[in-house]
């Protein structure tokens, strides 16, 4: 066992060395304004630099092959971007087959364009100019998650938005606490490091999972310790994670109540379902956490969950992140929808296309995302993100808009989670049943119900998971309620209800809803064989 340990220590010495340089930086509000303005001014130049080095100088890139099939040479690419702009160029390339669908990116089907078939995997999208000393993995609920390089340069590039976000929400003076997982998820470590370099260190870090639950590898454990203890070696006070399981949410609520007395409030970074649990615990234990500020990510922020979080007297704001890109947008007080965020137009391009969802006649306006910064861990060009929603230009009057970030994105949902047992349903309709209808009729909260799709040696079963804390219920009545509500939905519901009722597809399971890295996803996939 000594050789692997020594090997990992040598490998992560690069991480520790880069960490030292990273921690020497301090990003101020003025720095953020200047850098974002410069990136907007040099948007096309930054993008072309990334494309030239990461695609045209890299024959292994899937995009090199796709652009070749489309007959688009580097000169053609530059001429189009400089003449028509990035988004117009991306739309033309989409029409010519230069894109990667979500199923292709996840390896669920081969990449086929015309008569040519490409064999690709997620490593093919790695930026070859970033040191790959450490990789993280997303907590995907319908796949093994995405393997992405953890790069401190990109982390810094995406931290410039944070001082502006604190300013526009008027919460600069509040301490920060996190309830997020450690490596192999980057959620906790990224939050820890971001706040340190903006001069606002995280005061407490709680983790909803421990290393054994995440099956953290040796390199995960070493990397976590390198960041925390290496930071301390260079004078950075980085807190260690303290394990607090989801069923101990009262401990987080107690800390928020303490912070209210000591500081007038605090900012809690956590997943949406975690925020619901904390608010519930505060109400049930009569803890005053009003004035607390929840920053939620990782799951859709729905009306039902928003109401249950706000019931404790707290404020809620959200961010849009995906593991392949990192930070795509943050919300402001002037947003038009509960999950409205400013698109970070200086680092990400977004276009939409209409696509049919598998096993359905339903069409969604899927997002196609393109990275613009040379520090991007993955080089993505028209990559379908598994999300759809609304993209619009609106006036909100905040500092993000003043800087030129005028595009808003909201009503963000995942189309891959619309399919259950071979029949596609509208995810928003089923989420409404799980989060509003069932709690309203049988008790409990939005996070106490979950549709579990279990694949066992090719067979698919649906289980309606209900947390035992809801109490005694008539299971048949619950299933009848679900089917009745499905029949009322506009798309796919009648078919699903008819099929599932005849096949007795839905079975009730009394257990705590499953989570992934602390997230409780309303529709969750489990593969058993």
DSSP string covering 48-73: HHHHIIIIIT-TTSHHHHHHHHTT--
Q: Does residue 131 sit in the same domain as residue 59?
A: yes
Whether 104 maps to a domain, the answer reads: yes
Q: Does residue 521 sit in the same domain as residue 446?
A: yes
Residue 13 in this model has a pLDDT that exceeds 80: no
Pairing of strands 241-243, 202-207: parallel
Q: 34-38 contacts: CB < 8 A, separation 24 or more?
A: 35/160, 36/160, 36/161, 36/164, 36/346, 36/403, 36/404, 36/405, 37/403, 37/404
Whether 424 maps to a domain, the answer reads: yes
Specify the pLDDT at position 358. 66
Specify the pLDDT at position 425. 52
Q: Pick the last residue of a domain from 414, 437, 455.
A: 414
pTM: 0.82
Report how far residue 485's alpha carbon sits from residue 497's, in angstroms, rounded to the nearest whole number.
9
Whether 359 maps to a domain, the answer reads: yes
Please give the order of strands across the beta sheet that includes 523-527: 506-510, 459-466, 449-456, 523-527
* Predicted confidence (pLDDT) per residue in 106-160, tens digit: 777 889 998 889 888 878 898 888 865 555 555 544 444 555 567 888 999 999 9
| Token pair in block for residue 142 | 């319908």
* Predicted confidence (pLDDT) per residue in 475-488, tens digit: 889 988 988 888 77
* Predicted confidence (pLDDT) per residue in 35-48, tens digit: 999 999 999 999 99
* pLDDT (mean) for 448-461: 66
CB 268 within 8 A of CB 292: yes
Q: Pick the last residue of a domain from 414, 443, 476.
A: 414
Higher pLDDT, 518 or 409: 409
Q: Does residue 395 sit in the same domain as residue 485?
A: no
| Token pair in block for residue 315 | 């404020």
Specify the pLDDT at position 185. 81
Whether 16 maps to a domain, the answer reads: no
Residue 260 in this model has a pLDDT that exceeds 90: yes
Whether 168 maps to a domain, the answer reads: no
**How many folded domains does the chain comprise?**
2
Q: Pick the last residue of a domain from 372, 388, 414.
A: 414
Higher pLDDT, 523 or 388: 388
Whether 520 maps to a domain, the answer reads: yes
Residue 327 in this model has a pLDDT that exceeds 60: yes
Q: Does residue 367 sit in the same domain as residue 439?
A: no
Specify the pLDDT at position 458. 43
Q: Does residue 497 sit in the same domain as residue 431?
A: yes
Q: Does residue 436 sit in the same domain as residue 401?
A: no
pLDDT-based confidence at residue 422 (cuts at 50, 70, 90): very low
The residues, ordered by sequence, that sit 6+ positions from 181 with a Cβ below 8 Å of its Cβ are: 139, 187, 188, 207, 208, 209, 214, 517, 518
Max mean pLDDT range (81-85, 409-413, 499-503): 81-85
Torsion, CA 105, CA 107, CA 109, CA 114, rounded to 10:
50
Q: Does residue 438 sit in the same domain as residue 515?
A: yes
Residue 524 in this model has a pLDDT that exceeds 70: no
Domain of 477?
A: 418-527
Specify the pLDDT at position 457. 44
Specify the pLDDT at position 467. 93
For the beta carbon of residue 76, count every other beta carbon within 10 angstroms.
13
Residue 514 in this model has a pLDDT that exceeds 90: no
For residue 326, give the H/E element and its range.
Answer: strand 326-330
Higher pLDDT, 28 or 305: 28
Q: Does residue 401 sit in the same domain as residue 425?
A: no
Average pLDDT of the chain? 85
Residue 460 in this model has a pLDDT that exceeds 60: no
Higher pLDDT, 69 or 225: 69
Q: Does residue 405 sit in the same domain as residue 426?
A: no
CB 242 within 8 A of CB 204: yes
Residue 361 in this model has a pLDDT that exceeds 70: no
Least confident of 256-260, 376-380, 419-423: 419-423
Specify the pLDDT at position 323. 80
Whether 75 maps to a domain, the answer reads: yes
Residue of 450, 368, 458 whose CA lies nearest to 415: 368
For residue 362, give the H/E element and its range.
Answer: none
For the beta carbon of residue 483, count every other beta carbon within 10 angstroms.
18
Residue 216 in this model has a pLDDT that exceeds 80: no
Report how far residue 381's alpha carbon sits from residue 389's, in angstroms, rounded to the nearest whole number.
19
* pLDDT (mean) for 502-509: 74
């Amino acid at each position: 066992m000594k050789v692997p340990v020594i090997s990992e220590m040598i490998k992560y010495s690069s991480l520790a060395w880069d960490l030292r340089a990273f921690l020497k930086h301090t990003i101020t509000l003025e720095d953020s304004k200047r850098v974002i303005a410069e990136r907007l001014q040099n948007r096309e130049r930054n993008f072309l630099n990334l494309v030239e080095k990461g695609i045209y100088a890299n024959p292994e890139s899937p995009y090199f092959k796709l652009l070749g099939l489309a007959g688009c040479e580097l000169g053609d690419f530059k001429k189009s971007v400089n003449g028509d702009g990035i988004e117009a160029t991306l739309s033309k390339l989409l029409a010519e087959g230069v894109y990667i669908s979500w199923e292709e990116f996840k390896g669920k089907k081969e990449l086929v364009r015309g008569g040519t078939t490409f064999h690709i995997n997620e490593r093919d999208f790695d930026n070859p100019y970033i040191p790959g000393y450490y990789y993280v993995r997303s907590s995907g609920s319908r796949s093994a998650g995405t393997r992405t390089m953890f790069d401190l340069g990109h982390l810094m590039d995406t931290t410039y938005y944070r001082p502006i976000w604190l300013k526009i929400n008027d919460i600069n003076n509040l301490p920060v606490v996190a309830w997020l997982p450690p490596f192999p998820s980057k959620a906790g470590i990224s939050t820890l490091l971001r706040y340190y370099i903006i001069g606002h260190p995280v005061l407490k870090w709680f983790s909803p999972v421990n290393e054994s639950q995440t099956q953290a590898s040796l390199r995960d454990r070493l990397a976590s310790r390198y960041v925390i203890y290496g930071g301390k070696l260079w004078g950075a006070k980085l807190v260690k994670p303290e394990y607090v399981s989801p069923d101990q949410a009262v401990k987080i609520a107690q800390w928020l109540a303490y912070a209210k007395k000591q500081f007038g409030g605090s900012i809690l970074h956590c997943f949406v379902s975690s925020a619901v649990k904390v608010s519930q615990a505060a109400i049930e234990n009569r803890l005053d956490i009003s004035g607390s500020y929840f920053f939620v990510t990782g799951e859709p922020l729905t009306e039902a969950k928003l109401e249950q979080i706000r019931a404790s007297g707290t404020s809620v704001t959200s961010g849009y992140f995906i593991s392949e890109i990192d930070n795509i947008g943050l919300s402001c007080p002037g947003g038009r929808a509960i999950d409205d965020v400013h698109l970070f137009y200086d680092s990400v391009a977004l276009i939409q296309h209409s696509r049919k969802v598998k096993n359905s006649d339903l069409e969604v306006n899927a997002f196609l995302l393109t990275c613009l910064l040379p520090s991007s861990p993955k080089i993505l060009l028209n990559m379908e993100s598994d999300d759809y929603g609304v993209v619009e230009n609106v006036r909100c009057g905040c500092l993000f808009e003043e800087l030129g970030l005028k595009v808003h994105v909201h009503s963000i949902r995942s189309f891959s989670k619309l399919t259950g047992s071979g029949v596609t349903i509208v995810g928003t309709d089923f989420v409404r049943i799980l989060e509003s209808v069932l709690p309203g009729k049988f008790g409990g909260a939005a996070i106490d119900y979950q549709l579990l799709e279990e694949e066992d040696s090719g067979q698919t079963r649906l289980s309606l998971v209900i947390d035992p804390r809801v109490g005694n219920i008539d299971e048949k009545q619950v299933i009848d309620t679900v089917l009745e509500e499905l029949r009322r939905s506009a798309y796919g519901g009648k078919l699903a209800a008819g099929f599932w009722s005849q096949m007795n597809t839905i079975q009730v399971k009394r257990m705590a809803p499953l989570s992934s890295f602390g997230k409780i996803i309303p529709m969750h996939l489990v593969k058993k064989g």
